[in-house]
Amino acid sequence: MQTAVVGVVRAASRYRWTVCALLFFATVINYMDRQILGLLAPVLQHDIGWTQVQYGRIVIAFSAFYAIGLLCFGRIVDWLGTRISYGLAMFVWSIAAMLHAAVGSVMGFAMVRALLGIGEGGNFPAAIKTTAEWFPRRERALATGIFNSGANIGAVFAPAIIPALAVAFGWRAAFVMIGAIGLVWLVVWFVMYRQPDASAHDDDIERDDTEIADAANAHAGAPGFKVLIKKRETWAFLIGKFLTDPVWWFYLFWLPKWLNESRGMDMQHIGLPLVVIYAITTVGSIGGGWISSALMRAGWSVNAARKTAMFICACCVLPIAFVSMAQNLWVAVAIVGLAAAAHQGWSANLFTTASDLFPKRAVGAVVGIGGMAGSIGGVLFSEVIGQVLQRTGQYWALFAIGASAYLIAFAIMHVLTPKMTPAKLES
């Protein structure tokens, strides 16, 4: 009898990592669909004829509607649950990705990027809430780091695959083939995934004492935005996202153009440097989550563990302020890779603070609010980038802004949540 009980516990323990794998692959697809425009930008700029400012505004269309998608899906995830809402988000953004093949103007690209942004807005609210449901607090940053590394793997696969597809079949076919991958994931998701309370793998052994308060308030509905926006814990997460998400989007959407314009690399040679950068980034995503989880296992408080990991990551971004001085391509690639890796380590811990500071019934909405703020920051920064490059053609000031953003965000977050005490919400 005792052997049978041990077997059940081990099975439950393994299943939550299966859930993490599903989140990982969804994030891989999310970033492949997101990055394809940046990779094909040199070809599309030639075919469509857009200017730097017009390209920046196509990026803005995605960013603005991504903000709307985050805010809406944050609420939808808390309302419908992760299984249905994640599936809905994947369906919308996969169809939008495929529709890029049907347009041929600046306005057309802006419209399909807007639809893509709405759908992709569901990824992180659903993923973070799923992690909060399936993982105890001491493992959440590591689990978040693992699934969030899907962004880097997607960014590695994208330059390795997409330019080759575009050369072989044309850029329209590349959009269709990459977009269709999401529909395959959608089938697997609905076959394999259930909410924890409806799954045979749900087991109290997977929970820790932080679950007790959530269980006591399980009957309470998700708090509204008016309640959440009054909490300084919400503002800590919101400001962290507002200041640092735009830097990641700069890397995602503009690095291919930087390599093309500043380093003279064409589409056939641009893939390897990007693969190296995002391979380095994968280590940072998992490593950043591992640091805080390891410190908590060693007995550190949530406050000390999360902030130590985030401070280390914020410091590792600083060298990118000098990347424009690097004469050697691979030195520049290493500096950018370190900064991007540090961002993802920062992001793994920042996302986890949402479930540290709020009960599960509010996590989706909080992640949506913070994600919306990050998207607004991305909109503003994209306009700045377009104008700076149109007027000067120089990237150094943009990298300098990215270098300073994390320490500023860290300082503000520490002032707002000095002890990371969970927010008090009415039942």
Q: How do residues 191-221 score in pLDDT, each as one tens digit?
A: 998 877 655 555 443 454 444 445 444 445 6
Q: How far is CA 160 from CA 21, 273, 328, 344, in A?
A: 22, 10, 22, 20
Domains of the chain, by residue range, sit at 14-195+225-416
For residue 425, pLDDT over 80 is answered with no
| pLDDT for the residue 309 | 95
| pLDDT for the residue 205 | 37
| pLDDT for the residue 319 | 96
| pLDDT for the residue 12 | 43
CB 223 within 8 A of CB 425: yes
Position with higher pLDDT, 14 vs 374: 374
Instruction: Compute how many other C-beta atoms are within 10 angstroms of the C-beta atom of residue 99.
Output: 18
> Across all residues in the chain, what is the average pLDDT?
84
| pLDDT for the residue 187 | 95
Instruction: Compute how many other C-beta atoms are within 10 angstroms of the C-beta atom of residue 224.
Output: 11
Position with higher pLDDT, 287 vs 12: 287
Q: What angle do CA 192, 193, 197 make, to 5 degrees?
A: 135
Judging by beta carbons within 10 Å of its beta carbon (0-12, 13-18, 19+), is residue 318 exposed, middle or buried? middle
| pLDDT for the residue 427 | 53
Mean pLDDT of 16-39: 89
Q: What angle do CA 85, 421, 365 make, to 5 degrees?
A: 20
Q: How do residues 264-308 score in pLDDT, each as one tens digit?
A: 776 667 778 888 888 888 888 888 889 998 999 898 999 999 999
Could you tell me the pLDDT band of residue 252, with boundaries at 50, 70 and 90?
confident
* Helix orientation angle between 360-391 and 232-262, rounded to the nearest 10 degrees: 40
Write the DSSP symbol of residue 263: S
Position with higher pLDDT, 53 vs 333: 333
Tell whether pTM > 0.85. no
Q: How do residues 334-378 score in pLDDT, each as one tens digit?
A: 999 999 999 999 998 998 898 889 888 888 888 889 988 988 898
For residue 131, pLDDT over 80 is answered with yes
In angstroms, rounded to a whole number, what is the distance separating the alpha carbons of residues 3 and 205? 16
| pLDDT for the residue 268 | 67
CB 191 within 8 A of CB 71: no
Judging by beta carbons within 10 Å of its beta carbon (0-12, 13-18, 19+), is residue 38 exposed, middle or buried? buried
In angstroms, rounded to a whole number, what is the distance separating the alpha carbons of residues 122 and 132? 16
| pLDDT for the residue 57 | 81
Assigned CATH topology for domain 14-195+225-416: Growth Hormone; Chain: A; (1.20.1250)
Mean pLDDT of 375-389: 85
